[in-house]
Structure 1
């Protein structure tokens, strides 16, 4: 015969729905007194004993007034969390050894302000904010990564001690959020023995490696060596030099070309190769056991290659 615990002994979590939103319901909130709240209660008890002993009406009035404030604080602490909505934000991929940063969007649908809202992981520092009426705010939780693959955020706690600090109300949240962790970049890839070129379909106006064809506005990720420093010195903004031609560098990043390495070392070396090829604006492809990504360039191609390296050998 299995022992069934009463419902109030069972930890209640708030999970995200199919749209990735978590709603704080009334019966999912826990409330307990803080150390200050216990001290406050002890002082009230001593005041009550003194009032009874000396039959002091003013003492009774003050004791019951403070006790009433404490009871009202329970309602306001609970109300500060109920009805709040949490949404998982976008997580940027990171490399193993870096911190995965998870963005959590807090949405207040009420007209009134919610003050002193905090979120924290079990072993992390709390992150706090004050939510104005009908507003939202993004908070970030950081998790240290150690291995490639998907890093889950896991369970975190939403809590508040508003308004008097006498009570601690909290909710267990699980948004089923995860961040892609790529292999840590290793040493430089060995250079290709034979240069590999392809005809540029756009002729001398294409992106190549031959001739300087003009300037354009700087974009995040442009190589530093292509920045036109003279225009920057003349305070004309940051410009990037463009090169054209009828050919462009192309290379394959091949798993089989890396001999004498274990799996993780090969993945780290291939990760470095992807980053180097992007920096040099080369067209590159990736060959892994069972996977081949055709040569291309650009941020989408880069992300696809890094994702393949991060999830190699793992079931998604």
Structure 2
């Protein structure tokens, strides 16, 4: 019940907020403060002390009660100011595979001359990640967000909170950014790499030859091609980078083809293709990827790996 009430209150408070593109500065209108469990217990203790002092007309009891009340009020002021004017800025998140945790980074900037202690970021009901922000400095907090499905993952709304200095009160705010992380399919499957085929429409595994044999025309440039193979004169006429092809260098091409997986469901196909991409890259092969509506020419290297994995992550469609 308490969680449901908290979620309704959060939705009501943040109903006008939109995901931000720029860093967010926490002003007074965005900061809220309430007692913690320890704070409520402390308030009950003050009430009992006050009633005891009235009952026995004890001046020392009154003095002690008012002193503790002043400490609580000062704690409220310090907790609020610990977040006031704090600047939160998101940073990029590296792609992950489905089933892993995406690591979202956030930089906390402190424009004041005093340090900020015990500032935390929290995603949903996970444990807060605390950090201290130096005076006129910054620090970075990393939040782990589960990546359950392929595609683009958005962390959504985050809670910025502090219980500094005594833990009696919690000041908090909410922030949300236009930030996402690319999630690749989970690499799994029981099939081995398909056999390479001679010829084809891609760049081929052997088109990095010397160019001293039978000339076979041009093909579009693909990332990873050697600059020495680029036909600069032809590129100047067509405004496109073209690469020379030679028939004597045409070795078998490795194509990771969607159609090779028959009638399997979409997600198992993508997972098997993902495993093939990683295996082909690990073995140093030049490989291409064929999906319905898209074809990535054969190449190798980190750029090719990222292109293929991104195509698998963002694939939308059915058989083709």
Q: What's the TM-score, normalizing by structure 2?
A: 0.75
1:195: Cα distance to partner?
A: 5.1
Q: Which residue of 2 aligns with 1:58?
A: 60
CA offsets 1:86-144 (integer angstroms, 9 cap, x no match): 12121111111112221222222222111111111222111111111122222222222
Q: Which residue of 1 aligns with 2:126?
A: 124
Counterparts of 1:93 and 1:11, CA distance in 2: 32
Q: Are the equivalent residues in 2 in contact too, given 1:249–1:283 (CA < 8 A)?
A: no
Q: Please say if 1:253 is aligned against 2:261.
A: no
Is the deviation greater in 302-311 or in 185-194? 185-194
Counterparts of 2:13 and 2:83, CA distance in 1: 17
Counterparts of 1:57 and 1:304, CA distance in 2: 77
Counterparts of 2:37 and 2:265, CA distance in 1: 54
Which of 286, 290, 293 pairs up with 2:289? Answer: 286
Q: Are the equivalent residues in 2 in contact too, given 1:200–1:247 (CA < 8 A)?
A: no
Q: Please say if 1:49 is aligned against 2:51.
A: yes
SS of the residue aligned with 2:72?
A: helix
CA offsets 1:154-186 (integer angstroms, 9 cap, x no match): 212111110111101111221232211111112
Q: Are the equivalent residues in 2 in contact too, given 1:186–1:269 (CA < 8 A)?
A: yes
Q: Which residue of 2 aligns with 1:38?
A: 40
CA pair 108-249 structure 1, distance change in 2 beyond 3 A: farther
Counterparts of 2:10 and 2:144, CA distance in 1: 31
Q: Are the equivalent residues in 1 in contact too, given 2:33–2:169 (CA < 8 A)?
A: yes
Q: Which residue of 2 aligns with 1:17?
A: 20
SS of the residue aligned with 1:119?
A: strand
CA pair 169-109 structure 1, distance change in 2 beyond 3 A: same
CA pair 138-126 structure 1, distance change in 2 beyond 3 A: same
CA offsets 1:208-264 (integer angstroms, 9 cap, x no match): xxxxxxxxxxxxxxxxxxxxxxxxxxxxxxxxxxxxxx7877422221222132211
After TM superposition, the structure 1 = structure 2 runs for residues 263-282 of structure 1, keeping only pairs within 5 Å, are 263-282=266-285
Counterparts of 2:141 and 2:103, CA distance in 1: 10
Q: Which residue of 1 aligns with 2:72?
A: 70
Higher helix share: 2
Q: Which residue of 2 aligns with 1:216?
A: none
Which of 281, 302, 315 pairs up with 1:299? Answer: 302
Structure 2: gaps (5+ residues):
1-8, 200-204, 212-248
Counterparts of 2:106 and 2:275, CA distance in 1: 31
Q: Are the equivalent residues in 1 in contact too, given 2:198–2:251 (CA < 8 A)?
A: no
SS of the residue aligned with 1:180?
A: strand
Count matched residues: 266
Q: Are the equivalent residues in 2 in contact too, given 1:249–1:282 (CA < 8 A)?
A: no
CA pair 108-76 structure 1, distance change in 2 beyond 3 A: same
1:275: Cα distance to partner?
A: 0.9
Q: Are the equivalent residues in 2 in contact too, given 1:85–1:106 (CA < 8 A)?
A: yes
SS of the residue aligned with 1:163?
A: coil
Structure 1: gaps (5+ residues):
1-6, 204-245
Q: How large is the RMSD of aligned CA atoms in angstroms?
A: 2.6
SS of the residue aligned with 1:134?
A: coil
Q: Which residue of 1 aligns with 2:218?
A: none
Which of 150, 153, 156 pairs up with 1:151? Answer: 153
